[in-house]
Structure 1
Amino acid sequence: MDKLRSMEVFAAAAEAGSFSACADALGLSAVMVGKHVGQLERHLGVRLLQRSTRRQSLTEAGHLFLEECRQILERVRKAETVAERLHSQPRGRLRVSAPVTLGETAVAEAVSAYLLRYPEVTVELVLDDAFTDLIADGFDAAVRIGALASSDHLVARPLRPYRMAICAAPAYLAQAGHPRTLAELAGHRCLNHLLWPQGMGWPAPEDGAAVPKSSAPLAANNGQALRRAALAGCGVVMQPEVLLAADIAAGLLVPLLEDAMPVPRPVHLLYPRDPRPLPKQACFVDVMLEKMGA
């Protein structure tokens, strides 16, 4: 019985809330997760999890054992980093958090360059627009868009600002014409993002008038879906520049109203403050600044 592995699986199952979610996170089968937990329970002689077809919950013994597992696993992680520091070349696993659109474009490209340069590192890139706690969630680095709160525990390095772009396909513009002012968008088919508050996504005209209502043939909660609709000639799209840059460079989308875009938002790379960072983290910071630095 690999006690340490079983403890790791049990802790993951307790935090995930189900064997199936734990199995997905660890790359195991739900049956294997159950075997690890069962082995621990037989070894300890107590029930750790109460399970039914719909839910699971920790027993009193399970709560106590989980706290001990977390402490032991954290000590093991720290012991492993001591060994990592002895190596001059980056190696091991690196966990990175990033927002979805920026993560699947610029961050993914930088991560790919990092992996080619340092093949002994494996990267776990988690894309999520929700807030993540680097320390609590076990991330080595995170990319954040927007203003930051001050922190004594994290280092923040500025990256290229997050710019928006308004574009349309040449075929659409040939039929509907080029909007020359924001007010003229009222006469165009504008593709809207469902996460924008109504009327708040598009920049307001300079005279302070309300954002003009426009015909919206498509509203979606995903930027890639809006991009594809714009490429097909369905209307005018406003999305992050990093998402549209390749299409603009290829002439598939034409940038519009460039002087009327919102002020770019700041972007930072965050990582835990450490006077002796692991090579894998220090080299990742260098690559990110090289590829995405201001």
Structure 2
Amino acid sequence: MSDILDGVTTFVRVVEAGSFALAAERLSLTRSAVGKVIVRLEKRLGVRLLTRTTRSQSLTEDGQAYYDRCVRALAELEAAEADLDSGRREPKGRLRVSVPQAFGHHCVAPVLLRLARRHPQLRIDISISDRFVDMVEEGFDLVVRIGPLVDSVSLAARKLGMQYASIGAAPSYLARHGTPGNVDELRGHVVIAYLRAGAADPWDVLDVNGQIRRADVRPQLAFDDMQGIVDAAIAGFGLSWLPSWLLARYAETGELVTVMENCFRPSQEIHVVWPKSRYLPLKTRCAIDALVAEIPAMLGAPAAGAPIVRRD
């Protein structure tokens, strides 16, 4: 007797991925192996499930009806596993996480490292990139996002805190060029900017009088990597835009000086995000709880009122 579930998960993954090649990559199989699974499933069922060409695939009418029922059946099986999972004390299995570069290195990775040490049966794969990922399409269990949530319909989220940004520079740069005390005094300074989608972010700064003003600065150097900005700033190249939590780390060592603190607007929300589901696996829940417990303290509290201006 053949297993009624034989090939079902592979079939669902192929439909979700939109291609055999992508489904094979996610399932850690070859494209040929995935194709053979689908052929065996169609032969067992006696119907064609997918119409395939060299460039595309689509569900047949029978395939759509079968897919809808397979999704419901797999959801029930996942629910059954979740019920068993909830009775376990130890999370286990593979957890795929995507995090932004600087925040991932300095904040998220240390939390997940401690979580992995506490739970030896938990395997955590961390992808560190500022690239926006489609977590459902790419098969991630958790994603940390900085900024507005644009796909909240299919995703669930918990807020980890707010990211504020400050202006910092190396003591050597400030000794040569002076320390600006307001937005007007930023004019003429060498500036290191953050690149977003190929364009340098403008400097919308909360001035000492409480008004938000766009600084008249023209970046000579720009990076799409926050660590690159840090390295250039420490080298004394110019004033830099940095997340306040990151600048504070280098200010403690004396490598950088905070010139204007928590002065950039708008500030950005930080969330941990996961696909909506009636049942949350223990491995995912443990990671979310760990991030919610530890990340807020790493971000620090914003300065009250106008930005703090320091003339070290």
Rounded Cα–Cα distance in structure 2 between residues aligned with 1:210 and 1:98: 31
Superposed counterparts of 1:1-294, under 5 Å? 4=5, 6-94=7-95, 101-123=102-124, 125=126, 143=144, 145=146, 156=158, 159-195=160-196, 200-206=202-208, 208=211, 210-258=213-261, 260-262=263-265, 265-267=268-270, 279-281=282-284, 283-294=286-297
- Number of corresponding residues: 291
- Sort the Cα spacing of 1:140 and 1:57 in 2 relative to 1 into closer, same or farther, 3 A: closer
The 3-state SS of whatever aligns with 2:186 is helix
Report if aligned partners of 1:191, 1:235 keep a CA contact under 8 Å in 2. yes
Q: CA RMSD in A?
A: 4.2
Please report how far the alpha carbon of residue 82 of structure 1 lies from its aligned counterpart in structure 2 after TM superposition. 2.2
Report if aligned partners of 2:191, 2:217 keep a CA contact under 8 Å in 1. yes
Question: TM-score under structure 2 normalisation?
Answer: 0.71
Please report how far the alpha carbon of residue 108 of structure 1 lies from its aligned counterpart in structure 2 after TM superposition. 2.0
Structure 2: segments with no counterpart, 5+ residues: 298-312
Please report how far the alpha carbon of residue 226 of structure 1 lies from its aligned counterpart in structure 2 after TM superposition. 3.3
* Partner amino acid, structure 1, of 2:183: L
- Sort the Cα spacing of 1:210 and 1:274 in 2 relative to 1 into closer, same or farther, 3 A: closer
Rounded Cα–Cα distance in structure 1 between residues aligned with 2:142 and 2:190: 40
- Sort the Cα spacing of 1:62 and 1:79 in 2 relative to 1 into closer, same or farther, 3 A: same
Structure 1: segments with no counterpart, 5+ residues: none
Rounded Cα–Cα distance in structure 2 between residues aligned with 1:274 and 1:281: 12
Rounded Cα–Cα distance in structure 2 between residues aligned with 1:5 and 1:191: 56
* Partner amino acid, structure 2, of 1:41: E
Question: C-alpha deviations, 1:218-245, integer Å up to 9, x for none?
Answer: 3344434433443444432213234445
Please report how far the alpha carbon of residue 12 of structure 1 lies from its aligned counterpart in structure 2 after TM superposition. 1.8
The 3-state SS of whatever aligns with 2:205 is coil
Report if aligned partners of 1:188, 1:235 keep a CA contact under 8 Å in 2. yes
The 3-state SS of whatever aligns with 2:123 is strand
Greater fraction of residues in helix: 1
Question: TM-score under structure 1 normalisation?
Answer: 0.74
Rounded Cα–Cα distance in structure 1 between residues aligned with 2:256 and 2:187: 20
The 3-state SS of whatever aligns with 2:7 is helix
Taking only the aligned residue pairs, the percentage that are identical comes to 33
The 3-state SS of whatever aligns with 2:258 is strand
